Amino acid sequence: MVMTTIYVLVSVILVSLVSFVGIISLILTKKKLSNILLILVSLSAGSLFGGAFLHLLPEAVGEHGFTLNLSLYVLAGIVVFFILEKIIHWRQQCKPKHPLVHEEKPHHIGIMNLVGDGVHNFVDGLIIAGSYLVSIPVGIATTIAVIFHEVPQELADFGVLLYSGFTKAKALLFNFLSAAVAIVGAIVGLILGAKSELFISFILPFAAGGFIYIAGCNLVPELHKECRAKASLWHLSAFLFGIALMSLLKFLG
């Protein structure tokens, strides 16, 4: 249990540190940033699908069989992440097309951004902890999938905080504090996992549902907005690489 706890804490700390990737958006031009973001989104989508179908669901089915409860837990993951996505859309509904050059500073949007991300990161922490309680390889695969998803997300969140009036330093700090809520989620997950077998049987299919929702409903539609053949080929390559990486991680066990 001690080694599992160490793996969990190291993983959620790494996920939290991803929040500092936002500084990259100040270095790259808007065009380069846009191109990189879509490749990262492709990689994220592939890794999330791979994590769900190659790691989380096989483990859940292997432990308990393909039961009605398992299906309901997967659907619960989809519903919860659907709600979180609705919150994200709600908090960004007043966001203009060019947030970094807008003159007004609606501070409340930054606050909503941090609160919404905090809830999302707490759930990520629960998922990472639950995955490691099943096995180290599943935990590592889940952590990598979460990290790939967080990179493009954190780049966007950093821009929202700058738009809402935060200085660069404060945007980085508060974005990190919001990301660090994953540590709290992981600790809660470890406690729940130690006290209840139900949590472990629930969290894997729940996480799979969340991964499938994020990849299929949030990320893939973004990729379809780019129709150029060369760019689409890059996106497909990154998408397949994400799946391949999750496949390779199966050999860790």
Per-residue pLDDT tens for 212-247?
998 998 889 888 887 888 889 999 999 999 999 999
Task: Please give the average per-residue pLDDT across 48-75, as a whole number.
Answer: 91
Number of compact structural domains in the chain: 1
**How far apart are alpha carbons 212 and 232 in whole angstroms?**
21
pLDDT digits (tens, 9 = 90+) for 121-155: 999 999 999 999 988 999 999 999 999 988 888 88
Token output for 167: 């200085």
Looking at the chain, how many residues does it have?
Answer: 253
Better-scored residue on pLDDT, 156 or 109? 156
Share of the chain above pLDDT 90, in %: 45
- Within-domain flag for 112: yes
Q: Check pLDDT > 80 for residue 3.
A: yes
- pLDDT for the residue numbered 103: 42
- Within-domain flag for 216: yes
Least confident window among 73-82, 98-107, 111-120, 137-146: 98-107
Q: Which domain holds residue 228?
A: 2-19+32-252
Better-scored residue on pLDDT, 158 or 188? 188
- pLDDT for the residue numbered 98: 43
pTM comes to 0.79
- Within-domain flag for 24: no
Q: How far is CA 165 from CA 24, 106, 152, in A?
A: 19, 7, 21
Q: Check pLDDT > 90 for residue 8.
A: yes
Per-residue confidence at 88, pLDDT binned at 50, 70, 90?
low
Q: How far is CA 70 from CA 8, 38, 76, 81, 131, in A?
A: 24, 33, 10, 17, 15
171: left (phi over 0), alpha (psi -120 to 50) or beta: alpha
- Within-domain flag for 101: yes
Least confident window among 22-26, 79-83, 227-231: 22-26
- Within-domain flag for 26: no
Q: Check pLDDT > 70 for residue 189.
A: yes
SS3 81: helix
- Within-domain flag for 70: yes
pLDDT digits (tens, 9 = 90+) for 34-44: 778 888 889 98
Per-residue DSSP letters for 20-70? GGGGGGGTS-HHHHHHHHHHHHHHHHHHHHHIIIIIIHHHHHHHH-S-HHH
| Phi, psi angles (nearest 5°) of residue 149 | -75, -35
pLDDT digits (tens, 9 = 90+) for 109-124: 677 778 778 888 999 9
- Within-domain flag for 25: no
- Within-domain flag for 52: yes
CB 34 within 8 A of CB 231: no
